[in-house]
Amino acid sequence: MRYGSIAPELFIENRRNFTKLLPPASLAIFHSNDIMPTNADGTMAFRQNNDLFYLSGVDQEESILVIFPDAVLPQYREILFLKETSEHILVWEGYKLTKDEARAQSGVPTIMWLESFKSVLPALMNEAENVFLNSNEHIRAVVEVETRDARFIKWIREAYPLHTYRRAAPLLHRLRAIKSAEEIRLMRRAADITDKAFRRLLGFVKPGVMEYEIEAEIFHEFLRHGSRGPAYGSIIASGANACILHYVSNDRECKDGDVMLLDFGAEFANYAADLSRSIPVNGTFTKRQRDVYEAVLRVMKSATSQLVAGNQIEAYHAAVGRTMEQELIKLDLLNESDVKNQDPAAPLYKKYFMHGTSHYLGLDVHDVGAKYRVFEPGMVYTCEPGIYIREEGLGIRLENDILITASGNDDLMKNIPLEVEDIERLMREAR
């Protein structure tokens, strides 16, 4: 693994916390993701199912984790089923985990080969009353491809129709929303790698460079520091492209006088960083560009101060909206009288700031968790206000990753240049 070993205590504790949420006589079963095909005999790079990784630390395809705390036989209370390797697999696909390595990596005491799963399952089902099965229940998910979990759900409900089937996702959403110290360490590392990539760009961006060349510089820095690559599709949006929120074509030439919106983050040990910065292609903001940038930065600082324990997302977003309204009035984009008389259900600022300010961050970039849950220590949220002026071909977004603590918050990206003077100075010094 590029990211090195992670102490198994993380996954042992995650399983222990999950087990506490199960009712008596409950069996939980988690499957790895598939290796997805492309065309002909091609495949995409494997990306593990985040729930299975969270509970086991295993980053390998064709894996199944079973948790059954009330099993009569102690060896059946936690079982990890793995694909058995062979000389053929070693030659063609590479190294796979041995039983001893999987035990050391996960802390799961019982490791079996995958072919044993269906012979062991009847004994487990005979004792179980409730069966917790996993699925992607992210509120923004659009699931069109059938997963291994989905295929298994169909099979087991037909094979064992009289059990009570329950959803594992709400339990994982509750747990994953609060990050442990080890998870924060991994997320800090992802943020540090992202920092290195951004600083590299400050010496590379100039008029005439293609957006995809900038993307290549980001990939280079990610890979050389142990990341497997970006945590999501990188947005390299110069000029008017910055007003397209999820622009990923990255195929335009960067022009003198443009501002470039960068939204990218490294993945490290499956954990995501999520950064947005806006920089002048020629190294110097115009007065208008600077005024808009400073307005977004003031909103960001105000919003960050409200990412504290006890606050709640709806109240938070409403407060950010009020701050944004005042900034847009100062920029002559909104009229104060119109704002006073606006429909509260359709605030005028949404024309220029149409997305939310914050979302959970963790194993997923838009991480799982109850949307309306009160902010608690251990949660990590992005903070990413923006102003997008399509008629001016100007879009500014700024984003850092914020850890909520018992005494306030901790900006995981506080070392990444953000102030206008620092951006311009570093670009000037690098030329």
Catalytic residues: 41, 246, 263, 274, 355, 359, 366, 384, 388, 397, 399
Taking residue 401's Cβ as centre, other Cβ atoms within 10 Å add up to: 27
Q: Pick the closest to residue 347 from 325, 320, 323, 317 (CA basis).
A: 325
Q: Which residues contact 68 (CB under 8 A, 6 or more apart)?
A: 26, 27, 28, 76, 77, 78, 79, 124, 127, 128
Q: Which residues contact 48 (CB under 8 A, 6 or more apart)?
A: 32, 33, 58, 59, 60, 61, 270
Taking residue 277's Cβ as centre, other Cβ atoms within 10 Å add up to: 22
Q: Which SS3 state, helix, strand or coil, does residue 262 take?
A: strand
Residues β-bridged to residue 262: 236, 277
CB 88, CB 94: distance < 8 Å:
no
The C-alpha atoms of residue 145 and residue 149 are separated, in whole angstroms, by: 11
CB 214, CB 227: distance < 8 Å:
no
Q: Which SS3 state, helix, strand or coil, does residue 298 take?
A: helix
How many angstroms from the chain centroid is the CA of residue 112? 31
Residue with token string 């990539």: 197
The two structure tokens encoding residue 5: 């070993």
